[in-house]
Amino acid sequence: MDKPASPATPARRAARMTFCYALVASVWIIVSDWWLGGRVAGTSWLTQAQSVKGLGFVAVTSAALFFLLKREWKADAALLQRNQQQRAELHALSQFRASVIESAHVWINGLDREARVTLWNDAAERITGYRRDEVLGSDRIWQLLYPDPCYRRRIACEVEQILCDGAEVQDFETTIRTRNGEDKVIAWDSRQIADENGCVVGSVAIGRDVTARRAAEQALFKRERELTTLIANLPGMAYRCLNDTQWTMRFVSSACLALTGYREEELVDSRLVAWASLVLPEDMDRLRAEVERAIEEGKPFAVEYQLRKRSGELVWCWEQGREVKIDGEPFLEGIIVDITERKRMEQELELMAGQDALTGLLNRRAFNRILQDEIARATRYNRSFSLLWLDLNHFKTINDSYGHLAGDAVLRQVSQLIKDSLRKVDCIARYGGDELTIILPEMSFEAGRETANRIENLVASSRFDVLNGHILSLTLSIGVAAFPEHGQGAMELCDAADRAMYQAKKESADAGANRGRVDRL
C-alpha cells in the first residue's frame, strides 16, 4: 500500500502559496508604479493608469490562483481517495485475520528471528490449552510444549533451518505436551516470511492435529497385522474371488502354496492359472449348482470337491464361503481346507465297517447294501443279475480236526482264490461262518450257473495248507438265483439262493460224494 501523506503537508503548501502570492504582488506594485510614474504625465492619467493596472493584476492573479487551487484540490481529492482505499484494505485485512487466521481449524503461529511468538490463533489456544496473552512475545512456550530437553533441541534445529537456511517443512510431525498433560501429534508445514526489502523477519507455521488419525492408523495396522497372522495360521487358504466362470481370485492367503502348489501372485487375477481349471471336471457342475443355490437362498455354502495340484496330485478340499458385495460388485469369500487325510480315514473306516476282518471280503452289512443298489439299478434299466450262495462242505470237520486257526486259514485261502477268479464288477462277501455270497451284475441265470460250476471246479482242483504242513482239498455247494425271475426283493433272492445251496448240499450228501454240487431252484 502507498504511504499516507503527512498531516502538516496541506498547511505548508498553503503558506508557500500565500508567500509567493504576496511577494509577486509586492514586486508588481512597486515596479509598475515606478514604471508608470516615469511614463504617464498628469495626475488623472496616472490615476486611471494605476486603476487599469490594478484591475489587470487582479484578473491575472485571480486566474493564476484559480489554477493553483484547482491543482491542489485535485491532489487532495486523490489523496483522500487513496486514504479511503487504504482504510478499506486495512479493514479487509482485519476481517481476513479474524475469519481465516483466528477462526481457522488448524493451528497457525508466527515467529520472529529469535523464535518468539508473534502470532497465535484460536486453534493454537484450543489445541495446546495456552492463551494468546501467555505466549505472544516470548519463546517460553516451547519449553512447555516440548518438556524433554533432547527432543526440544531437535525441534529447535528444525526451526533454525527454517529461519536461517530458508528450508521449507512439509508434514513434519512432532509430539507436544498440552496444558492438561495430554500428548498430541501435530503435522507441521512451515516456511520463512520476509519484509518488503526481502529481509527475513521470521517464519509462519501451520499445524494440524493428527493425533486421532495416527491412533486410528496404528489401530488399523495392529488389526491388519493380527488379521494377517490369523489368516497365515488358518488350517486352509482364505480367498476372495469374482463369481465368474473362472472364479478369478482377487486375494488368496499364503496357504495357497501348500494347498495347490501355486504362489499367490500366480493365482491372483488368474495370472498363471485359473482356480476353476484346478477343479476336476466331474465335480464342476455339482459345485457350481451348490454355490448358486446358496447364493439364491442368501446362505453360506459348504462343498467338497477334488482339485489337481501343480504336481498333478489330487487332493480333496472342503470349501465354505458366501457371497459378499463390495462397492456393489459381488464377490465370493471363504476358506478352502485340504481334507485329503480326512477322506482317506473316512474311506478306511467305511472299508473297515464293510469288511470282514478274517477274510478281507465284504461283510454281511456291505453285501446287503450292495444287493439293494444292484436291485435298484437292474430295475431302473430292466437288466438281470445272478446271486450265488456258497458253502464249504465239511468245514466243521476241519475245525474239529485241526483247530479253528486252521479253519480260519482255509477260509482265507478259499476266499482269496474265488475273489481272484471273479470280474472287477463282481462282488463277493462273507455272509457268515463258512458261507460266501457273490453278486454277478449283468449275468443271466444260465451265465450265473456256468460261473458257479467254474468256481466249484476251481476250488475242488486246488489244495489248501491248514498249518503244520497239512494239505487238504475242499468242495463247495453253490446255490444260484437270478433277478427278477427268482425274486424282485433282496429277501426273496437271498432265500431263493440259500434254499438252492441247501438243496445242492443235500443232493451231494445223498449221493455220498466228496465233490460239491451246484443246484438251482
Tell me the per-residue pLDDT of 248-301, one tens digit each, with 9 for 90 and over.
999 999 899 999 999 999 999 999 999 999 999 999 999 999 999 999 999 999
Q: How far apart are CA 93 and CA 101, in angstroms?
A: 11
Q: For residue 378, what is its C-alpha cell?
A: 437292474
Category of 238 on φ-ψ map: left (φ > 0), alpha (ψ -120 to 50) or beta: beta
State whether CATH 3.30.450.20 applies to domain 104-214: yes
Amino acid at residue number 284: M
Amino acid at residue number 366: A
Closest CA to 239 of 322, 311, 327: 322
Summarize pLDDT for 218-261 with one digit per residue, the tens: 888 888 777 777 766 777 899 999 999 999 999 999 899 999 99
Q: Which residues of 173-194 are buried (b: 16+ CB within 10 A; e: fewer)?
A: ebebbeeeeeebbbbbebebee
Summarize pLDDT for 162-193 with one digit per residue, the tens: 767 777 888 889 999 999 999 999 999 888 88
| Number of Cα atoms under 13 Å in the Cβ half of residue 183 | 8
Q: Where in the chain are the domains? A: 9-99, 104-214, 234-342, 354-520
Q: How far apart are CA 266 and CA 277, in angstroms?
A: 13
Residues 202/163, Cβ–Cβ less than 8 Å: yes
**pLDDT score, position 42:** 56
Q: What percent of the chain stands above pLDDT 70?
A: 83
Q: Which of 208-222, 369-383, 507-521 has the highest mean pLDDT?
A: 369-383
- What average pLDDT does this structure show over 470-493? 92
Is 3's pLDDT higher than 60?
no
Cα 362-516-495 angle, rounded to 5 deg: 50
Specify the higher pLDDT residue, 103 or 423.
Answer: 423
**Could you tell me the CA-to-CA distances from 160 to 154, 188, 414 in Å, in that order?**
10, 15, 102
Q: How far apart are CA 308 and CA 286, in angstroms?
A: 17
Specify the higher pLDDT residue, 200 or 13.
Answer: 200
The pTM (predicted TM-score) of the whole model is 0.46
| Band (495; pLDDT cuts 50, 70, 90) | very high
Q: How far apart are CA 422 and CA 441, in angstroms?
A: 11
Summary mean pLDDT of the chain: 84
| Phi, psi (degrees; rounded to nearest 5) at 214 | -65, -40
> How buried is 198 (Cβ within 10 angstroms: 0-12 exposed, 13-18 middle, 19+ buried)?
exposed
CB atoms closer than 10 angstroms to residue 426: 19
**pLDDT score, position 513:** 47
Query: What is the assigned CATH class of domain 234-342?
Result: alpha beta
Residues 500/480, Cβ–Cβ less than 8 Å: yes
Alpha helices in 329-403 (DSSP H): 340-353, 364-381, 395-402
Closest CA to 433 of 490, 476, 395, 483: 395
* 439: β partners: 387, 427
Which homologous superfamily is 354-520 in?
Reverse transcriptase/Diguanylate cyclase domain (3.30.70.270)
Residues 19/63, Cβ–Cβ less than 8 Å: no
> How buried is 496 (Cβ within 10 angstroms: 0-12 exposed, 13-18 middle, 19+ buried)?
buried
Q: What is the dihedral of CA 344, 345, 350, 353, to 10 degrees?
A: 150
**pLDDT score, position 77:** 75
DSSP state, residue 2: P
Summarize pLDDT for 429-476 with one digit per residue, the tens: 999 889 999 999 999 999 999 999 999 999 999 999 877 778 888 999
Q: Identical fold at 104-214 and 234-342? A: yes
Q: How far apart are CA 187 and CA 210, in angstroms?
A: 7
Q: For residue 211, what is its C-alpha cell?
A: 493425533
